[in-house]
Structures are given as C-alpha cells and as structure tokens.
Amino acid sequence: MKISMIILLGCFTQLAMAQEIPMFIGTYTHAGSQGIYLYMFDQQSGEATMYSSTASEHPSFLTRSAKGDMLYAVNETGDSTAALSVFTFDGDILSFVDAMPTGGSYPCHVAVSKRHPLAVVSNYGGGSLSVYRLGENGGLVEKIQHIQQEGTGPDSARQEASHVHSAFFTPDEKHVYVQNLGTDMVTVYRVDTNNNYRLIEEGHLSTPAGGGPRHLVFDEHGKNSYVLLEMTAKIAHYEKNGENWILVDTISINEDGFEGDNGAAEIKRSADGKFIYATNRGDANTITLFAIDKSGKLERKKVYPTGGEGPRNFNLSPDGRFLLVANQKTNNITVFERNMETGELKDTGKQIEVSTPVCIVF
C-alpha cells in the first residue's frame, strides 16, 4: 500500500513538472530591467513563476532554436554595441555564449532557420539585414552578408528612409521574406544552399502605400500570406498565383469607427491554422481575433482590450490554451485563456509584472 502511494505521488510530481514549461521574456533595459527573464509557465493553471534573469542590453526580440537548446536575442541599440547574442539553455540555466555586431543600428528582429544553419537579423535603423552562418551546435560562426535596402515611402515622418523590420522563412525554408516599413515593400530572397547559405534576391511585392509592413505570417503550405501594416493597423492578405503574389484583401484590426493613432505590432497564426491574432498599440491597446476560412480569407471576429498599454509581441502557449500579451508601457503581461474551438479569448485576471516587456518566447 505504501509502495503504491509512493509510486502514485511520483506520478503526480512528474505530471506537475511536465505542466510547467520555460518562458523567456525580452525587455528594454533603460528603465530597470535586467535583460532576459526566465519564468516557468504552468499550462494547466496559467500561472507564471519567476525563475531567473540574465543580463543583456535591450534584448527586444528573442527566438529559440528548433531543439530549444539555444536562445537568440537582438541587442537593440543605436551604436556599435548593436548585436546578435546567443545563449545556451540546458532546461535550467541560460548561459551566454557569444555575440556578433550586426553592423546596423537598432536591430529589432531575428529569425533562425529550422532547416539551415542560418540566422537573419533585421536592422530597423539604417534599413539593412545581417545574415549569419551558425555552427552545428547553433553558435555563431561568421556574418556572411550585410544587405542594405534603399528607398522611401509616402509618409515623410516615418518613411523617410529604409527601415527593415522583420524577416521570416517560408514554410519550406527555401526563401526569406523581408518586411521594410520605410519603403512599403516585402523583398523575397532565396536561400542559396550551394553558396554558404547566402540570400539571393528574387523579387518583391508592394504593400499598400503608407501602411508600413512590420511582420507577416504564412499558411502551412505557403499559399497565403498575411502582412501586418503597422501604420494603418491593417492586414494585407496575399494569395500565391504561380510565382506571383496577388493582393486579395486588406482588413482593419480595429473596431469599425475607431479613430486614433495606430501602431500594429504583432501577428500570429494558431497552430491549427484556423485563426489569426494581431495587436495594435497607439490609442487602441487591443488584440484582435480573425477566423480563416477554407480559401484563406480573413473574417474579423472580436477585438479585446489587452489589459495594459503598448501591446507589443504576444505568444500562444505550446498547447494553445493560453495567449499572453506583453504590454510594454504598463510593465505587465496579460494572460488570456483561449477557446480552442472558437479562438475566443478570456482575460484570466492573471498579470505578470515585468519592466518593459516586449517579447515572449516559449
């Protein structure tokens, strides 16, 4: 009887441990933040427990390797300290490994390929890309390219020059799509596996003038793409026709009749491919749910307040049951419970207090 109880208690302990997963939070460090915060997130209760912090200057965007043993962070500064930093993670301790300068100012996004030994950093200031080759262990080997983009847009205040905001690999990892807020342009690069994984420009698609493309998502087959336009808070939906992308529709992430400043920040698709979410800062401070029909068309379903100000990045828990929004200006992360069938969100009332949170990675 006692042996059975011990075994049962051991099973419960293992189950409790399995429910808790690591969650990394990137921040700006000008207002008291230490850098990167590691929390343990309970996928059953939605509770988060502070575990450790790691010093890093302005680690504003994070991503993990496919195996999860490496963490990559951009150091978003405007001088020679702007860098891509790499850390190892053994499931318990986050350890700094190396950093390389980006050669551009204010790096704001990093994408790491799941298929190739390749990392791509977007430098918002100066409007360039930094391309790195990674070693077998995921560490930095060399910077193999620095790609400068040029151009302007119709908004003289925001689009006076090139401002590269993000780079995303296609689902088949053969191409990288680069969003330039300053030029209203998405540039398509092919990954040249025969030439040290250099990026070769193959074409581009123009986004609606004055919109300012920030981030994008693809469907699982790469047949539909959804570009988030920061300045107009709209999503531009494109459908692939042969080798060309056709603009199908643009849809606002705001409620009808909204008037105020926009600052669309993040867009993500649910793992089941049925829903898209997008945040808007400015005067809105909202996250919006869209349903995706079989043709790929979006329908705006509901707009939710984020429980704070300046919602930047957000993320869905790996099991899809929760969605967490980083509210930069109010130093809090709001935890929403997510209906898996309808995609709808419910504020759990749980708040994670973090100084200037801007990125959440599981």
Structural domains counted in the chain: 1
Tokens of 141: 């080997």
Residue 11 banded pLDDT, cuts 50, 70, 90 = very low
Is residue 95 assigned to a domain? Answer: yes
Is residue 10 assigned to a domain? Answer: no
Domain around 82:
20-361
Q: Which of 179, 350, 159 is nearest to 267 (CA)?
A: 179
11 phi, psi to nearest 5 deg: -65, -45
Is residue 14 assigned to a domain? Answer: no
Is residue 3 assigned to a domain? Answer: no
C-alpha to C-alpha distance for 164 and 304, rounded to whole angstroms: 29
In tens, the pLDDT along 50-65 reads 999 999 999 999 999 9
Give the pLDDT confidence score for residue 6 in this predicted structure.
46
Identify the CATH number of the domain in which residue 327 sits.
2.130.10.10
Is residue 216 assigned to a domain? Answer: yes
In tens, the pLDDT along 159-201 reads 999 999 999 999 999 999 999 999 999 999 999 999 999 999 9
Output the CA angle 340-343-348, nearest 5 degrees.
80
Is residue 190 assigned to a domain? Answer: yes
C-alpha to C-alpha distance for 235 and 52, rounded to whole angstroms: 37
Q: For residues 320-337, give the mean pLDDT.
A: 98
Is residue 70 assigned to a domain? Answer: yes
* Helices and strands (H and E) in the chain: how many: 1, 28
C-beta of residue 336 within 8 angstroms of C-beta of residue 348: yes
C-alpha to C-alpha distance for 86 and 100, rounded to whole angstroms: 9
In tens, the pLDDT along 253-294 reads 999 999 999 999 999 999 999 999 999 999 999 999 999 999
Is residue 8 assigned to a domain? Answer: no
Q: Which of 327, 320, 317, 318 is nearest to 351 (CA)?
A: 327
C-alpha to C-alpha distance for 36 and 210, rounded to whole angstroms: 34
Q: Which of 76, 106, 70 is nearest to 88 (CA)?
A: 70
Residue 239 banded pLDDT, cuts 50, 70, 90 = very high
Average pLDDT, the chain: 95
In tens, the pLDDT along 90-121 reads 999 999 999 999 999 999 999 999 999 999 99
As beta bridge partners, residue 180 has 164, 185
Q: Which residues of 124-135 are buried (b: 16+ CB within 10 A; e: fewer)?
A: bbbbbbbbbbbe
